[in-house]
Structure formats: C-alpha cells, structure tokens
Amino acid sequence: MFSTMVTVAIKEFKHLLRDRRFLLILVLFPVLMLAFFGYAVNFDVKNIKLAILDLDKSVSSRKLISETTATDYFTDPVYIQSSDEIRKLLDSKEVHAVITIPKDFEDFLERNETATIQYLVDGVDANSAKIISNYLDAAINSFNGKLQKEKLSKLGMKISPPVNISPKIMYNPELKSSLFFIPGLITMILTITSVISVSLSLVKENENNTIEQIKVSPVSNLSMLLGKIFPYLIIAYINAAMILVVGYFLFGVEVQGSYFDLIYAIFIFLLAATSLGYLVSVISPSTQVAFTFGAFVSMLPSLVLSDFIFQVESMPMIIQIFTNLTPAKFFNKIIRAIILRGTGFETYSSQVYYLLIFSAITILLSLAIAFRKERKT
C-alpha cells in the first residue's frame, strides 16, 4: 500500500510541475489573498469625519472641541454655521457625525448647571455608529472629569476616586483587529485552496479517463486518495509558512505558542480539509461542478460560520448547530490559541479530536460513495 501511495504521489507531483500556471496559483494566491484581506478586512474605525456647530464660540466650547478631536480617530473637524447644514452633510455622507454645542454653554458651566450637547451619528453602518458613539462619549467624559478637577482645585479641594481601575488587555494590547483576523484568514485560505485543489485534481482524472487506468491497476481507493492528497499537503504547508512570514512582516503577527503544536495542528486541519475536497470530487461529475461546489462548501462556511468575522455565540441556536459541520470553526479556535494566546494542547484538545472525527467520517463517506459508483459501473 505504501509503495503504491508513493507512486501516485510522485505522479501527482510531476503533473503539478507540468501545470506551472496551476502551481503558481496554488503558491502565490494564498499570499496575495492574505495581503489583500489583511488590509481590507479591518473593523478599526479611523479617519472619522466630524462636523461641529458651535453656537457658543467660547473658551469652554473650544476646549471641548479640542478634547474631542485630539485623538487620531478623527480628522480635522468641519465647522458649520447653521443647523440647516446638518441634514445635508449627513445625507451626502460628507461627515459621519455632527456635534451641536448650545448657546450659553460656558454660562451653564460657570453656574454649575448641566449643559446639554447633542451629537448626531450616521447609523446606516450600525457597527461604525456604535464605535463612533463610544469615542464621543469617552471624549466628553474625559472633558467632564478635567473640568471637575479644575473647579475643585480652585476651591483648594482634591477629589480621589474610591476605586482606581488598572486595566490590562491580554494577548492584543493595542487592540489591533488585524491580529484577530490574520489567524482566521489563514484558516479560510488553507480551506479554500485545499478543498478546491484536491477536488479539481481528482475530477480531472475522471474527465481525462485516466481514472480507468488506475482502476485496473493494483491501486486501492485509499492508496490513491492518500497519494493524490500528499502533494497538496506539502503545498499547503508551504502556503502556511509563507502566510506566517508575510503576516509577520506586514501585520506584526508573531507565533506566541509552540511551532511544533502549530505544525501538527495544521496537519490535522489539512487532513480534514483535503478529505472534504475528496468528498466534493466523489460527488461532482465535472470540474465546473467541483469548483463551484468546492467553493461553496469551503468559502462560505469559513467566512460566515467559523467565528472568523461573526461571533458564533451570537447566532441563533439552529445556526450554531450548523457551524459544527465546518472544520474551519474548530481550527480557528486552535490557531488563535497557538498564535495569539500561546497556550498548549490542553486548551484546544476537544477541537483537535473533532477534526480527527470529522476527517474519519468524511473519508469513510467518500470511500463508500466511490465504492458504490464503482459497483454501478
């Protein structure tokens, strides 16, 4: 069995070397996808365009404006003179938010009365609207705190909060969304390339009628499967290494855990992904169907149902159950544990066992379908 598997693997390697365009796509496409998605898929909200209607034009209102726009999140504000301009600016998306400072704002503060300011935020993008609102709330709360300290210091008083907060963000201190997305991108890229490349390779054998030659030779289905998969496992490992290198230089993503854990975890995941590709090839009658079906079962689940972008725990229960059908969900937990948290096997052992079970079931199902097709012919 081993010798026949090696023979099939060597044949597949030779076929890949002859088809240089396909080999080039397999090697370079994942890296290009990482660079593209790494910069494009980013939930950090920056360069917020802010308009300000300052009806008071006092020292206090200017301090509030300075406190609000001092961060890198906001661009230089646009000053407007009338409330009639607010709707026009928001409708045309020239600004993301508008702050209105009322007349007599400073007088209210000097009389120790509460002054009310209003900000309007474009809520079409709900996620961005929440983040912008949080930025503005934080800036205004900071202004309030400084103003209270100034007033108390003039009276010779000093206020100390009863509780001090000492926050520390673990694993991602700078809260870069790229650190969260890059491991998920690795999962998605490896899933797509493994499933599609294996399924297309096996279906091409059917279309070229070379599968008939293999069937009459003393090669079992399992030997053929392992031999066909092995070259793509090697290429997938090369892809993974290149992705990690590019992720480090472009996005500063470092592997915090063990490289040995990462190597065997990738192998187990690739076994699951390639077994899914084999299942796609067994079901698909042509390369067009194999490509479409392979993209459907790899791209959509790895993007939507894998905890890559959307949190699985926030989904309806019926959808959460469906997410268990994609190996990408479990590998995302593994790779984030290794790369970001630097934890060991004990923290993701259940995910490893799931991937092994998924691989076994998928391979057995694929072999059963292939055997049934052979009997019919």
pLDDT in tens, 112-156: 888 888 999 999 888 888 889 988 998 888 888 888 877 777 776
pLDDT of residue 37: 72
DSSP string covering 150-167:
HHHHHTT-----SS----
Could you tell me if residue 252 is left (phi over 0), alpha (psi between -120 and 50 degrees) or otherwise beta? left
Residue 262 has pLDDT above 60, yes or no: yes
* 158-167, 321-330, 354-363: range with lowest mean pLDDT: 158-167
What is each CA distance from 151 to 64, 144, 349, in whole angstroms? Answer: 16, 11, 57
Answer whether residue 216 shows pLDDT above 60. no
Q: Is the pLDDT of residue 218 over 70?
A: no
What mean pLDDT value characterizes the chain? 82
For residue 294, pLDDT beyond 70? yes
Does the pLDDT at position 105 exceed 60? yes
Q: Are strands 97-101 and 50-54 parallel, antiparallel or unpaired?
A: parallel
Tokens of 45: 């909200």
Give the residue with greater pLDDT, 233 vs 261: 261
Q: What pLDDT is attached to residue 17?
A: 72
Q: What is the largest CA-CA distance in the chain?
A: 98
3-class secondary structure, 97: strand
- pLDDT band for 79, please (50, 70, 90 cuts): very high
Contacts of residue 325, defined as CB under 8 A and 6 or more positions apart, other chains included, come to 301
Chain segment 231-255, per-residue pLDDT in tens = 778 888 888 888 888 888 888 888 8
Residue 52 in 3-state DSSP? strand
54 touches 61 (CB < 8 A): yes
Please name the residues in contact with 21: beta carbons below 8 A apart, sequence gap of 6 or more: none
pLDDT tens digit sequence for 17-55 = 777 777 777 777 777 777 777 677 666 677 889 999 999
Instruction: Answer yes or no: is pLDDT of 175 > 90.
Output: no
Q: Quote the percentage of the chain above a pLDDT of 90.
A: 14
Higher pLDDT, 166 or 222: 166
Is the pLDDT at 212 greater than 60, yes or no?
no
Tell me if 137 sits within 8 A of 118, measured CB to CB: no
Question: Which of 59-73, 155-169, 311-325 is the least confident region?
Answer: 155-169
**Mapping DSSP to helix (H, G, I), strand (E, B) and coil, where does residue 301 land?**
helix
Sequence letter at residue 369: I
For the chain, how big is the Rg over CA atoms in Å? 29
* Most confident among 160-169, 198-207, 264-273 (mean pLDDT): 264-273
Rounded to whole angstroms, the Cα distance separating 316 from 359 reads: 27
Confidence of residue 261 (pLDDT cuts 50, 70, 90): very high
Domains and CATH numbers, the chain: 2-42+180-376 (no CATH), 50-154 (3.40.1710.10)
